[in-house]
């Protein structure tokens, strides 16, 4: 296939893939998004939509529609550290209109994007279409993908947005650097009692738990030392419930709902990045290019920023029938700096806070000085709010609008 003809294929219907699909089709580029599942409904996907993402939807004229979906708004972040409540970040101080994090189930976020994209004649979405590999032309350029059923889908450009276990980045032999992570996470639900309405984290020596308010239940994340999932399970579900209850007594009334380990989902935490995000005919973005830690809940937002940068750099050339290959490196150049900065912050949190707390000999008699300073001087809370809420090298919508919606 000539590289000036045909559609682009986006593999993966997560935040990076759906945002890329929408923006490319909005620019008039024939775009096909492939999603291996039958729907977007998956438990325990990330659901923190930060101000940087909300402002992008504002630029697109879509923020009101997005926020009409079920969500909660969090303008401050707090934590309980060594038994003391600490105020960490205040998003009301940000210089944008969306001065909060929207806690929105990811399936609602993705359904909204899919609904908007389907209005564009250049967009198509195939569910239950699992890409299992890439195909190459005689010159070694990626020219399409293969599906689990053996179908070959040709493409003028493939966007690998297929997550941290990307089969396409492996097929293209893109080199990866593993930064290491000291923990894994068990995700589970706990029914919520009337009046409980705070998203927070609890940090004690040897034990960490995060709680996300989902309306009538908590989405809870129990953090433990990497590779210790079987050891935690071996102590039994009753011991697990008891430990959670000791750490967060408010959860005790709902913990009896945990009756089977099948209700507790393991998230194997990764922190890595590709050192090269592209090869001729293929570009990796989102988790396929950089797996982020849950620290800060930044994954969705970095993925969306990648998609915006890719569309800003590639869409006009693709829409005019040009060759995208010379531009692929520019996407990596644009997005590598914020990836490195955020991952460095996450790595510091891993090494100096989480990893240290999860050691058997850990002691935590009072909150660290930095957290005490944040709590004592509210103006300082604008700093973590800025980093978490707006990120680094924030993107804006600059890709063309072909007026097709």
Residue-averaged pLDDT of the chain: 91
What confidence tens digit (pLDDT) does each residue in 173-203 have?
999 999 988 999 999 999 987 666 567 888 8
- Provide the Cα torsion 336, 340, 342, 348; round to 10°: 170
Residue 205's pLDDT band (cuts 50, 70, 90): confident
The whole-angstrom separation of Cα 22 and Cα 9 is: 12
The whole-angstrom separation of Cα 300 and Cα 103 is: 12
Rank 60-69, 74-83, 216-225, 385-394 by mean pLDDT and report only the highest: 60-69
Contact 211, 220 (CB under 8 A): yes
Q: Which residue has the higher pLDDT, 37 or 329?
A: 329
Mean pLDDT of 208-235: 88
Residue 358's pLDDT band (cuts 50, 70, 90): confident
Mean pLDDT check: name the lowest of 98-102, 109-113, 202-206, 286-290: 202-206
3-class secondary structure, 145: strand
The pLDDT assigned to 72 comes to 86
The pLDDT assigned to 2 comes to 39
Nearest to 307, CA basis, from 12, 23, 2: 23
The pLDDT assigned to 362 comes to 74
The pLDDT assigned to 405 comes to 55
The pLDDT assigned to 364 comes to 80
Mean pLDDT of 232-257: 92
The whole-angstrom separation of Cα 187 and Cα 378 is: 31
Q: How many residues does the chain have?
A: 405
What confidence tens digit (pLDDT) does each residue in 297-321 have?
888 999 999 999 999 999 999 999 9
Domains and CATH numbers, the chain: 8-178+270-390 (3.50.50.60), 183-267 (3.30.9)
Mean pLDDT check: name the lowest of 3-12, 137-146, 344-353, 369-378: 3-12
Mean pLDDT check: name the lowest of 161-170, 210-219, 303-312: 210-219
Nearest to 42, CA basis, from 10, 14, 18: 14
> In the chain, what percentage of residues exceed pLDDT 70?
95
Q: Does 79 score more than 80 pLDDT?
A: yes
The pLDDT assigned to 1 comes to 36
Contact 366, 80 (CB under 8 A): no
């Amino acid at each position: 296939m000539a590289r000036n003809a045909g559609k682009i294929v986006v593999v993966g219907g997560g935040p990076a893939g759906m945002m890329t699909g929408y923006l490319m089709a909005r620019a008039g580029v024939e775009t096909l998004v492939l999603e291996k599942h039958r729907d977007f409904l998956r438990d325990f996907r990330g659901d923190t939509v930060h101000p940087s993402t909300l402002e992008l939807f504002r630029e697109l004229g879509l923020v009101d529609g997005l926020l009409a979906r079920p969500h909660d708004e969090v303008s401050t972040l707090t934590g309980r550290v060594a038994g003391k409540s600490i105020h960490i970040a205040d998003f009301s101080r940000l210089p944008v209109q969306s001065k909060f994090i929207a806690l929105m189930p990811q399936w609602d976020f993705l359904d909204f994007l899919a609904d908007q994209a389907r209005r564009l004649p250049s967009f198509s979405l195939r569910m239950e279409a699992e890409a299992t590999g890439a195909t190459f032309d005689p010159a070694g350029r990626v020219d399409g993908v293969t599906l689990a059923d053996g179908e070959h889908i040709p493409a003028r450009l493939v966007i690998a947005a297929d997550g941290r276990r990307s089969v396409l980045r492996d097929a293209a032999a893109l080199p990866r650097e593993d930064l290491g992570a000291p923990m894994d996470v068990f995700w589970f639900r706990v029914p919520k009692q009337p009046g409980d309405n705070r998203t927070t984290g609890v940090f004690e020596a040897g034990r960490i738990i995060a709680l996300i308010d989902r309306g009538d239940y908590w989405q809870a994340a129990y953090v433990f030392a990497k590779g210790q999932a079987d050891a935690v399970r071996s102590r039994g579900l009753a011991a697990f419930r008891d430990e959670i209850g000791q750490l967060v007594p408010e959860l005790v009334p709902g913990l009896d709902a945990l009756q089977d380990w099948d209700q507790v989902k393991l998230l194997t935490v990764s922190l890595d990045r590709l050192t090269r995000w592209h090869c001729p005919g293929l570009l990796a973005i989102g988790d396929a290019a950089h797996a982020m830690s849950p620290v800060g809940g930044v994954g969705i937002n970095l993925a969306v920023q990648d998609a915006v940068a890719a569309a800003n750099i590639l869409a006009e050339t693709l829409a005019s029938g040009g060759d995208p290959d010379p531009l692929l490196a520019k996407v990596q150049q644009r997005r590598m700096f914020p990836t490195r900065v955020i991952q460095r912050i996450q790595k510091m949190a891993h090494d100096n806070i989480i990893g240290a707390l999860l050691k058997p000999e850990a002691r935590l008699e009072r909150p660290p000085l930095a957290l005490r300073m944040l709590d004592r001087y509210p103006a300082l809370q604008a700093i973590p709010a800025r980093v978490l809420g707006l990120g680094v090298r924030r993107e804006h919508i600059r890709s063309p609008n072909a007026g097709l919606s």
